[in-house]
């Protein structure tokens, strides 16, 4: 994995801050009590789109406008947050945006993408099938495909990690959800650039374990997706570039069930009154899973609340749990 310099990451962050302000990191007393640790929550649910993905698209599309100014239309597959991000940043540059989502995707994420001006097409039963259809449309319509993973996306996402590591440089551990890998690679890039020693552990859904299986095996393993709650982690095939970085730089990859994620969503709401979507609560779910072990108990940890875009009906159902 190419690891950008601190100067390169700061330049990317400057682009991000033209579109949005930094997000806060807070240590919540009730959450600390539940974990038995000093936890710092990085509130990426406080970006203008309610997701960390907002950062990467700004940097990627700025670079695209400079290297390929003839591009007028872009397309990407998404479960929602990546699509919202390219719709938001594409509109700022006057680009026509198409997003391909699987059938049964979040109704409210779809509505948000349309509200941002994107054409939203439902196709396929999972992200991989949506991606294949997006590739076909790209060729048919002469569109530019915005990938789910790219060095420019990572550089933008890393701006949030720079904020957290600079605010709390002595974190023992950060837990990072993995969808297609830009989040964990942004953490890796920021850690390397700043020279901090924080341990980085990835988190996947037990119902979409491709990255964990691949990490344990040392090579890519495809795995079926059945998660209902953590759609942002619904990855069937690991991205080759991000997997290489995870294999080289991550300390471990944990898996959390939908039930554990739902409990973490409730815990976030009850302890902080913040909405967390499934993927956004995955890091907390993993911390709760290992809270009695040496990595968490009495330590100082970072938890990215990566997004808060959860459908009202789903969240209402989750809040009814214990």
Kindly report, residue by residue over 185-209, the tens digit of the pLDDT. Answer: 999 999 999 999 999 999 999 999 9
Residue 230 has pLDDT above 90, yes or no: yes
Helix, strand or coil for residue 315?
Answer: helix
In the prediction, which pLDDT does 128 show? 85
pLDDT in tens, 76-91: 999 889 999 999 999 9
Residue 1 has pLDDT above 80, yes or no: no
What's the rounded Cα separation, in Å, for the pair 53 and 20? 12
What's the rounded Cα separation, in Å, for the pair 178 and 60? 19
Which tokens is 182 given? 């830009």
Q: How many CB atoms lie within 10 A of CB 59?
A: 28
Which tokens is 244 given? 């290489």
- Sign of the dihedral defined by the CA atoms of residues 125, 186, 118, 51, in that order: positive
Which tokens is 123 given? 């196709």
Residue 181 has pLDDT above 80, yes or no: yes
Based on DSSP, count helices (H) and strands (E) in the chain, helices before strands. Answer: 13, 10
pLDDT in tens, 264-285: 999 999 999 999 999 999 999 9
pLDDT in tens, 125-170: 888 899 999 999 999 999 999 998 999 999 999 999 999 999 999 9
In the prediction, which pLDDT does 321 show? 87
Q: What is the mean pLDDT of residues 31-43?
A: 98
Q: Is the distance from CB of 96 to CB of 74 less than 8 angstroms?
A: yes
Q: Rg of the Cα trace of the chain?
A: 18
Helix, strand or coil for residue 160?
Answer: helix
What's the rounded Cα separation, in Å, for the pair 80 and 83? 5
Q: Are strands 73-77 and 144-145 parallel, antiparallel or unpaired?
A: parallel
H helices present in the chain, as ranges: 6-19, 29-35, 53-67, 81-92, 107-115, 127-141, 151-167, 182-194, 210-217, 240-249, 258-272, 278-289, 312-319
pLDDT in tens, 6-29: 999 999 999 999 999 999 999 999
In the prediction, which pLDDT does 106 show? 87
In the prediction, which pLDDT does 78 show? 92
């Amino acid at each position: 994995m190419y690891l950008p310099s601190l100067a390169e990451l700061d330049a990317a962050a400057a682009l991000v801050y033209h579109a949005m302000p930094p997000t806060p990191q807070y240590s919540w007393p009730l959450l600390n009590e539940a974990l038995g640790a000093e936890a710092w929550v990085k509130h990426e649910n406080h970006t203008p789109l309610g997701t960390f993905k907002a950062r990467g698209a700004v940097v990627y599309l700025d670079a695209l406008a400079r290297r390929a100014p003839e591009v007028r239309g872009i397309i990407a597959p998404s479960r929602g947050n990546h699509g919202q991000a390219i719709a938001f940043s594409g509109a700022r540059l006057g680009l026509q945006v198409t997003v391909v989502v699987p059938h049964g995707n979040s109704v409210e994420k779809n509505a948000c993408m349309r509200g941002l001006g994107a054409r939203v097409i439902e196709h396929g039963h999972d992200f991989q099938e949506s991606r294949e259809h997006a590739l076909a449309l790209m060729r048919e319509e002469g569109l530019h495909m915005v990938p789910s993973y790219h060095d420019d996306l990572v550089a933008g996402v890393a701006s949030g990690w720079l904020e957290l590591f600079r605010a709390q440089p002595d974190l023992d551990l950060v837990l990072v959800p993995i969808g297609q890998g830009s989040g964990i690679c942004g953490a890796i890039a920021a850690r390397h650039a700043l020279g901090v020693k924080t341990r980085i552990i990835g988190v996947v859904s037990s119902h979409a374990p491709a990255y964990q299986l691949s990490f344990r095996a040392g090579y890519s393993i495809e795995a079926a997706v059945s998660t209902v709650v953590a759609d942002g982690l619904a990855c069937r095939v690991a991205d080759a570039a991000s997997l290489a970085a995870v294999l080289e730089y991550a300390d471990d990859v944990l898996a959390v069930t939908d039930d554990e994620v739902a409990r973490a969503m409730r815990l976030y709401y009850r302890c902080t009154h913040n909405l967390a979507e499934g993927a956004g609560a995955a890091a907390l779910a993993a911390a709760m899973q290992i809270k009695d072990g040496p990595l968490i108990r009495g330590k100082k940890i970072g938890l990215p609340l990566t997004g808060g875009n959860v459908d009202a009906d789903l969240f209402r159902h989750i809040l009814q749990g214990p």
